Structure 1
C-alpha cells in the first residue's frame, strides 16, 4: 500500500538503491549529455521497491527502440528526493526528468520556483505527442495549473475492494457487497468475537501512514474534504453523516481496529483476521502469497454513485534540461498506448490512460483497477498544502472520531484549520 497519496512499496520493502548525484553535468543546466550523437537523459524516481523492475523494463524498451535517445533511471527514497531536488532544479542542476514526490501536490513547489517545464507545446493526439486527453480527467486536472500542463502520470492506481472468499462463504455470503448498505451489513456480519476484541474483523481500515481510505467513505454519500471553491466541506451535512456512520461502525460495532497504520491494515488482512480491505494493485500479489483466498471487486456504490480513490505520481521535466525535445519525446512514448499496455501487463497497475480497457481485460485483476478509472478521484487534488491538510488536520480528525469524539464538533474545528491552509475567505 502507498504512503499517504501514493504510498509506494518502498515504505514496505527494504530495497538497495543506487546513489544519484543530483548535481548537474556542468554549469549550463540540468541533466545528462550527448555522446557520439546519442542524447543521454537522466531520470530520478522514488521507485525503490518491488515495483522498480517494471519501470526499468519500460525504459529498457524505450532505449531499444530509440537508439539516439538513452534514458538512465536511478532511484532514491522519496524523503531524499524531497530534500535535494527542489534546490537542485531551482539552481539549474539535477536530472532531466524526475518524479518529485509520491504526492501529486508537490508539483506546486517546482512551479513556484519556475524550475519545471510546461509541456503544452508537446501536447496533442499525433505521433510523438503527449496525448493528455487520454489521461483520467482527475489526473489531467491535478497536473494542470493556470492552464498549463506540468506533469504526466508516472503510474496510475485505483483502489478496489479486496475480500476473503473463504470468510464470505463461511458467513453464508455468496458475493461481495455492491452497495454501501450491503457493505455495512456484510462488515457487521463478518465481525466475530466478544465485545470490543473480535477474533475476526469485517473490514480492515487504516487512518495513518496509508493511502487514504476514509475519503472514499465520505465520497460514497456525497461528502468531501475541500470543495471546488477551495473551502472546507468536511463539516457539511453529507460529510458529517458519512463520518458519523462509519466512525460508529468502528468505535461501537468494532468492524475494524482503531488507529491502524497502512501496514497494520495489510497485515490484518494477510493474516486472515479481516474479511475485507480497500486497497490498490500493489497489494494483490502479497495477499495471494500469504494464502488469502482473494476476491477483488469494485468499491461498493453509495448514494452519490460509483467512486473510488485514484493515486498517481507526477513525472516532470526540468526547465533547465539541455535536452527538452528528447525528454518530451520520452514522455510522449512513456504515456502512449503501447508503453502503457506493456507496463500494465508487467506491473499489475492499470494503464495511465482511459482508452485501453480492452487491452488489459485479459488480466482480471488489472481489469478491475482499470474499470475504476472513469470514476476515480484524487485526494486533495490541486491543493498546494495537501500534505499539511492531510497530516495536520484530516488524519487527526479521523483518529478523534474513531475514539468517540463528537463528529460535528470535530469536523467544525477541522474545517477552520483547513480553511486557514487553503486561504478560503468564508
Structure 2
C-alpha cells in the first residue's frame, strides 16, 4: 500500500456500498455476538496482513464479530466525515493515510477518546507504543486513535542495473547523489522521485542535507539558507541531470521501478511484494546517512479511530487492543515486512531474522514523522509543500519558490514571526 491519497474514479455504487455498512447495532438477540464494522484504505500488498488480524480476532473469541472493508483512501475521506457526524458510518475506521487528519475529527467531536488502556489482553497497552505514535494522536491530554501500523522508508534498488553500471549500494548522501546521476542512462532513471499522491520522499532528501520544512514554532524554514540549500542539489539533479521524470505520482514511480526502468526508489515495506512479483532483482538497504553523518528517514503511520456514535465503545476498544497487541503485531510484521509499532518486539529474534523486517526496523530509532501535530498539516502538505516541489522541478527558481511556499505555510500554521 502506498500512503497518501490515491486519486481514483469511484462509482456511485461504491459510495452507496460504504454507507450501507454503517454503525452496527449488534445481534438482534442478547446472545448474538456484537457486530463491528471497520473501514480502511489498505488495498495494497500489505492488505492480507490486516485481513489476517481481523480473521484471527474473530476466531479468538465468540462475543464480537468484526467485518472490515477496504476502499480507496479518497473514497473514505469523502464519505467518512458526514457518515460519522450522522451516525451512519462504521464503528472503527482508518480515516486517512495521513495521521494528522485525526485533528479534524477531534474538532468535530466525531471520534471517541480511548479510555481502555493497560496491559491486559483486552486493553490497549499504549506504554508499548513508540512514544511519537502516542504523541501524534493525543489532543488535550486525550488519546483519540491508535496506530494501525508503523513504517519507515528504505532505499530500494535494482541489483541487475547496479551490477551492469558497476555501482554499489550508496551509504552516504553524496554517494546516493552520485549513484542517481551515474545510473541515469539508456532510457533508465537513477532515482525516481514522486512528488504528489504519495508518501513524501522530498522531506527525507531535505533532512539528509540538513534542511527542514518548519521549526519548533511551526514557522516555515524553507526560505532560510539551510532550507534552500537542502532543496537545490536534488532540484538540480532532477532538472539538469534528469534522474527522475517530473510530476510523478507514487503509483507512476512504482510502475517505473517495477518495469526495470528505474534503478532506485525510496519507499516503504508495502512496496516489496509488488516489486518481487514484477521479477525485479530486488535489494533493500537503509536510506544513506545524512551530510552530518547521522541516519534519518521518514516514519509513517495510519490512525485507527472509533466513531463517537458507536453503540459498542467497549467492544471497539477491545478490538483495537487485539490489533495493537504483541501476538497480532508480530504476525503482521512477519507477513508484511513492516516494523512493529510496539517497542517490546524490537529485539524479537524471529523478526530480526526476517531480511525485509530487519531493514525497516533498523531505521525506526532514526525515523521522523512528517509535520507531526503542525496546525493544518494536511493543508500545509497539499497547498504549499507539494506545489513547491512541483514548481521547483519545472524550473521555478529556489528563492521565488520557497518564498511563496513559506508565506502560505505561515498563513496555514498561524505563524506570525520568525
Task: Please report the TM-score for the alignment, with normalisation by the length of structure 1.
Answer: 0.89
Alpha-carbon separation, structure 1, partners of 2:313 and 2:198? 35
1:138-157 matches, within 5 Å, as 138-157=132-151
Native 8 Å contact 2:40 2:68 kept in 1 = yes
Distance 1:420 1:344, change over 3 A: same
Deviation, structure 1 residue 163: 0.7
Native 8 Å contact 1:311 1:378 kept in 2 = yes
Distance 1:384 1:11, change over 3 A: farther
Query: Is 1:409 equivalent to 2:400 in the alignment?
Result: yes
Q: What count of residue pairs does the alignment treat as equivalent?
A: 410
Query: Is 1:206 equivalent to 2:194 in the alignment?
Result: yes
The residue aligned with 2:72 is: 77
1:27-426 matches, within 5 Å, as 30-34=23-27, 35=29, 36-119=31-114, 121-173=115-167, 175-193=168-186, 199-304=187-292, 305-357=294-346, 358=348, 359-426=350-417
Look up the SS of the partner of 1:105 in the other structure: helix
Alpha-carbon separation, structure 1, partners of 2:19 and 2:155? 41
Alpha-carbon separation, structure 2, partners of 1:161 and 1:344? 19
Distance 1:220 1:335, change over 3 A: same
Alpha-carbon separation, structure 2, partners of 1:140 and 1:408? 37
Deviation, structure 1 residue 180: 0.6
Task: Please report the TM-score for the alignment, with normalisation by the length of structure 2.
Answer: 0.91
Distance 1:77 1:166, change over 3 A: closer
Per-residue CA deviations over 1:114-157 (Å, capped at 9, x if unaligned) read 121111x3223344321223323332221111221111111222
Distance 1:44 1:161, change over 3 A: same
Alpha-carbon separation, structure 2, partners of 1:290 and 1:39? 42
Alpha-carbon separation, structure 2, partners of 1:210 and 1:413? 22
Deviation, structure 1 residue 56: 1.9
Alpha-carbon separation, structure 2, partners of 1:270 and 1:99? 28
Question: Structure 1: which 5+ residue stretches go unaligned?
Answer: 25-29, 194-198
> What's the C-alpha RMSD, in Å, of the aligned pairs?
2.5
Native 8 Å contact 2:32 2:63 kept in 1 = yes
Deviation, structure 1 residue 344: 1.7
Per-residue CA deviations over 1:171-213 (Å, capped at 9, x if unaligned) read 223x3111111111222222225xxxxx222211111222111
Question: Structure 2: which 5+ residue stretches go unaligned?
Answer: none
Native 8 Å contact 1:351 1:370 kept in 2 = yes
Alpha-carbon separation, structure 1, partners of 2:19 and 2:251? 31
